[in-house]
Amino acid sequence: MPAAPYDAIVLGAGAAGLMCAGVAGQRGRRVLVLDHAARPGNKILISGGGRCNFTNIGTAPDRFLSANPHFARSALARYTAADFVALVDRHGIAWHEKTLGQLFCDGSARQIVDLLLAECDAAAGHSGQVEVRCGDAITDVAHADGVFRVTAGRQEHHAPALVVATGGPSIPKLGATGFAYDLARRFGLKVVEPRPALVPLTLPGEELLFRQLSGIAAPVVASTGKTSFAEAALFTHKGLSGPAILQVSSYWRHGQAVGIDFLPDAPAGWLRQAKRDAPRQTVPRLLARHLPDRLAEALGERLALGGDLGNLPDAKLAAAEQRLSAWQFTPSGSEGYAKAEVTAGGVATAGLSGQTMAARHLPGLHFIGEAVDVTGWLGGYNFQWAWASGWAAAQAL
Ligand code: FDA
């Protein structure tokens, strides 16, 4: 076998892979990055509506889902949102906080890809080297005598360390695959069943009334089980979307209900109080003061509370208050990987070191980014995990 010309091969030139390569290169390592897509950073380019929500200043371990909620702690603590912001600042990229700690580029997501590629190039100034090669399918990965052999296109590459950063299968048309899971299983690691997350939910036929509200959004509190999010919900022609629903979708399991509080700011007893204050008011007109007209109409129809408030019994109004604060939808499913912003589940953390992201039984083999069973909330958390896990692996290369 020829001598390994690289210290590490990184599979996947996305957020985590490029971060890892740049940091390792600047630690003097010779790194080869391979990606089957024609160009690096495809998901970064379309992220955040083209402006890349590159981190969240509220990053904390409890904003990530994983079979082991403690796994992400170490990496997130060692490379923080502030560290990435400092990097963005060093590159002179202007940014702003949009809402809820979410940081976006003022200009374009392209700036973040350029930042990562520039960091890779900067390896040369630190006696390192990063080579990014795109456009060749990876056809074989093998390991023998402490060396990983990767076949891509017609070439074979060798290195003592392999970093798998090929993400999850969300948005297959961008080149996303479940490659990392197959590789993990082949090397004896377990995979927590992957599922689409941060994804719109679909409603069954009997909820057609709501599907007719397509395009209407309202600030709500959406919940499933014990988890709830106060953000906007959006009705679509297939069901429910908007940030509140995307957040809840990561926690939702088939058969579970999703509750929506349409009037989270309304005080207890508000309808009964309105009856006393304005007995000639109707429920739909009252709802329209707080909600978009068509939504107020649809809810009013469903509540079947016609006529003046003054003529409606308190018990019925109390039941309506209760229903409006916890409207139950039972989604028929989700819009799947084609529309999922991320994949929950992935390479089981039980077999990985939280310090180095390496397989416990094969320390040269690392898994980082979305491929791992760590999934962030909506709002820049998934990129922060990509940066932090990529940085952690790079320290061990
Ligand atoms: P990533 O998907 O970035 O990279 C994986 C790379 O591996 C890709 O370049 C791919 O081509 C390559 N690859 C895959 N299979 C391969 C194979 N078999 N062989 C070779 N190469 C292979 N997050 C966030 O925090 N803020 C945001 O604003 C957004 N916005 C957003 C919008 C949309 C539309 C989507 C789909 C996703 C987001 N995300 C997001 C999520 C975020 O993009 C995602 O979590 C990270 O890109 C994950 O980084 P990774 O490096 O792990 O995978």
Pocket test for ligand 1, best of 111, 116, 166, 246 (most atoms within 8 A of CB): 166
Residue 5: per-residue pLDDT = 87
Residue 209: per-residue pLDDT = 67
* pLDDT digits 0-9 by tens, 125-149: 999 999 999 999 999 999 999 999 9
Residue nearest to atom 2 of ligand 1 (CA): 167
Residue nearest to atom 13 of ligand 1 (CA): 166
Residue 278: per-residue pLDDT = 94
- Ligand 1 centroid to Cα of residue 14, in Å, is 6
* pLDDT digits 0-9 by tens, 264-308: 999 999 999 999 999 999 999 999 999 999 999 999 989 998 889
Count the Cβ atoms, other than its own, within 10 Å of residue 259.
18
The fold for domain 201-334 equals Elongation Factor Tu (Ef-tu); domain 3 (2.40.30)
Which residues lie closer than 8 Å to 331 by C-beta, 6 or more apart? Answer: 201, 202, 203, 204, 239, 240, 252, 258
The band of 210, judged by pLDDT with boundaries at 50, 70 and 90, is confident
Angle at 48 (CA atoms; ends 43, 52), nearest 5 degrees: 70
- Ligand 1 centroid to Cα of residue 360, in Å, is 25
Backbone angles phi, psi at 357, to 5 degrees: 65, 15
- Ligand 1 centroid to Cα of residue 177, in Å, is 10
- The residues with which 112 forms a beta bridge, in sequence order, are none
Q: Average the pLDDT over 370-383 and give the result.
A: 98
d(CA 386, CA 16): 4
- Ligand 1 centroid to Cα of residue 220, in Å, is 29
The pTM score is: 0.97
Please classify residue 281 by burial: count the beta carbons closer than 10 Å to its beta carbon, then call 0-12 exposed, 13-18 middle and 19+ buried: middle
CATH of 8-196+340-395, one of 3.30.300.210, 3.30.70.260, 3.50.50.60, 3.30.70.100: 3.50.50.60
> Residues enclosing ligand 1, CB less than 6 A?
11-17, 35-37, 42-43, 46-48, 52-53, 138, 165-167, 170-171, 175-177, 179, 341-342, 369-371, 380-383, 386
Residue 206: per-residue pLDDT = 79
Domain boundaries, the chain: 8-196+340-395, 201-334
* pLDDT digits 0-9 by tens, 318-364: 999 999 999 999 999 999 999 999 999 999 999 999 999 999 999 99
Minimum-distance ligand 1 atom for the alpha carbon of 51: 28
Backbone angles phi, psi at 164, to 5 degrees: -95, 115
Is the pLDDT reported for residue 22 higher than 60? yes
d(CA 242, CA 217): 8
Q: Average the pLDDT over 70-84 and give the result.
A: 98
